[in-house]
Amino acid sequence: MHRPNVAALVRRDRDGVLYTTSAQLEREDLAAGFATRVGGVSGGCWQGLNFSFSSGDDEQCVRENYARFCRALGAPQQGLIRAWQVHSDNIVVVTDRAQCLGPSPQTPPDRADILMTNLPGVALTTFYADCVPVLLFDPVHRAVANVHAGWRGASIRNARTAVAKMSELYRTDPADLLAAVGPAVCAGCYEVGEEVCEAFEETFEPGERELIFSHVDGRPHVDLKLANVLTLLAAGLCEQNIAASTDCTAHMSQLYFSHRRMGERRGNQIALICLREEGEAK
Ligand SMILES: [Zn+2]
């Protein structure tokens, strides 16, 4: 099996808000991107663009961070929706804008790690601080998904579950899908234990495992971004339609919050994708 050759993400700065995205997802009819810490108003261990209401940060700061990021991406704040992330392949399908809570400290009702919709104006969000966010866009049937895929999600191949559900609901052909795999912990920074190795042994082919696992001083490391890229390919996506971040949330401390590096005293990054209303100017 060959190592997939996918494009890197591009970095953008809008009024001081720094984010990354796939060049293929930079379109008039879409808002899509992955935040960095740069451009927010939070202080202390949440310094910068923190999107977590539940880690002790000041609520007004988090609200301002949402306002700045949504303005930078051209996404409607009132359309924001998130799930209670539980490292699963549970799916929330957004069929009514009334499901959207906006930027709210309220606990979301659904425990899920995959969100999808074909409604314009709904801004699907996932949160991470080393885990992998995956954005999916079907330009033919105009539908989007946002997947939270850390080691558990990646090992159960939840990005493939998302693709299959889009095919079922929106008649998506995986070959049409455009995907962006966001910033996450790199293989060098991600030493793992037996539990993680065993989980991937159950679901990944030997050729795939050869690519995603490496050993440093005899200890296993895993490349979670590559694991998600391989899952997207296995789901039928084309290599040229996938872009992946080369950034590491753990060792690029000026740009990212990291669970590995910072533990619980930290903020969260956000990944967002939203179909724009027709005729809506960015
Ligand atoms: Zn790293």
Give the pLDDT means over successive 10-residue stretches in the chain (282 positions): 95 98 98 97 95 94 98 97 96 97 93 98 96 98 98 98 98 98 97 97 97 96 98 98 98 93 90 86 50
Determine the distance separating the centroid of ligand 1 and the alpha carbon of 202, expressed in angstroms: 26
Distance between CA atoms of residues 100 and 94, nearest Å: 8
Quote the tokens at residue 274: 């939203």
Determine the distance separating the centroid of ligand 1 and the alpha carbon of 140, expressed in angstroms: 36
For the purposes of burial, counting CB atoms within 10 Å of the CB of 240, is it exposed (0-12), middle (13-18) or buried (19 or more)? exposed
Model confidence, pTM: 0.97
* Lookup result for tokens 């997207």: 232
Architecture of domain 8-275: 4-Layer Sandwich (3.60)
Please state, as a whole number, how many other Cβ atoms lie within 10 Å of the Cβ of residue 36: 24
Residue 280: per-residue pLDDT: 59
Determine the distance separating the centroid of ligand 1 and the alpha carbon of 261, expressed in angstroms: 10
Residue 235: per-residue pLDDT: 98
Determine the distance separating the centroid of ligand 1 and the alpha carbon of 69, expressed in angstroms: 25
Determine the distance separating the centroid of ligand 1 and the alpha carbon of 10, expressed in angstroms: 18
Can you give the residue ranges of every domain in the chain?
A: 8-275
Strand order in the sheet with 132-138: 7-8, 242-244, 178-181, 132-138, 143-149, 114-117, 91-94
Bridge pairing between strands 132-138 and 80-81: unpaired
Quote the tokens at residue 103: 């930027």
Determine the distance separating the centroid of ligand 1 and the alpha carbon of 127, expressed in angstroms: 19
Residue 264: per-residue pLDDT: 85
Residue 179 forms beta bridges with which residues? 136, 242
Q: Which H, E and C letters describe 212-226, residue by residue?
A: HEEEECCEEEECHHH
Determine the distance separating the centroid of ligand 1 and the alpha carbon of 225, expressed in angstroms: 12
Determine the distance separating the centroid of ligand 1 and the alpha carbon of 205, expressed in angstroms: 25
CA-nearest of 60, 34, 37 to 48 is 37
Alpha helices for 33-127 (secondary structure H)? 59-73
Residue 1: per-residue pLDDT: 86
Contact between 42 and 35 under an 8 Å Cβ cutoff? The reply is no
